[in-house]
Chains A and B, each alone.
Chain A
Amino acid sequence: GENVEQHPSTLSVQEGDSAVIKCTYSDSASNYFPWYKQELGKGPQLIIDIRSNVGEKKDQRIAVTLNKTAKHFSLHITETQPEDSAVYFCAANPFSARQLTFGSGTQLTVLP
């Protein structure tokens, strides 16, 4: 089955700086890679995703990059703001499978 590893487990940045979270996956058949943000007391919220036919996707201050050869993908947040503080999860799954395999999460803290 798929195995997803996520690093770092905690990350602190100054407001305005960039944050990068990295994930690796094991199953070369995986082709869907979503990122979720979970704020305290809430469920995970899908913030961006990427499919294996593209290498990069951007949505305002967030971007995701995918390197299929190396089997890793990353979340980039630019111009961080205090409201970006949350736990971020990456996930992967083969297109035909229903099961998302999640990383263990990154606690991001943006310091004012």
Chain B
Amino acid sequence: ETGVTQTPRHLVMGMTNKKSLKCEQHLGHNAMYWYKQSAKKPLELMFVYSLEERVENNSVPSRFSPECPNSSHLFLHLHTLQPEDSALYLCASSHEMMSSYEQYFGPGTRLTVT
């Protein structure tokens, strides 16, 4: 399988649930990102990992917890979410050693919090 994959593609969870989103990249990249895409809003960067170390956290609430066990995998652990957290969560990857920051996106996980 090539590119950036995300599972699950759709997720419905209650506010008291705990769930995890998974992202895997098959591009040999060394940086990975989580974005939140809400209706009629620009993409919002949530977390950046470079060489498996978190390098940026854009003031994301602690109910979102990322994990990057290796350069190919990225997780987003979710707990006690709010209805306003319903959105499309996108994962992306890039190769930081190249002379650009071209980012390649996965298909996203459509999250609905009830």
Give me the interface of A with B, judged by CB distance under 8 Å: 4, 32, 34, 36, 41-46, 49, 51, 89, 93, 95, 97-105
Contact = CB atoms under 8 A, between A and B. Distances in A.
B48 A98 contact: yes
Residue among A89, A97, A100 with the highest chain B CB neighbour number at 10 A: A100
Residue among B4, B31, B92, B103 with the highest chain A CB neighbour number at 10 A: B103
Interface of B: 4, 6, 31, 40-43, 45, 48, 50, 55-56, 58, 90, 92, 96, 100-108
A89 B102 contact: no
B42 A44 contact: no
Given A4-B42, A98-B56, A41 B107 contact: yes
A73 B90 CA distance: 25
B105 A104 contact: no
CB-CB nearest 4 A-B residue pairs = A43-B105, A102-B43, A102-B42, A44-B105
A4 B42 CA distance: 9
Contacts of A103: 42
Given A43-B4, A43-B108, A46-B103, A99 B42 contact: no
B102 A49 contact: yes
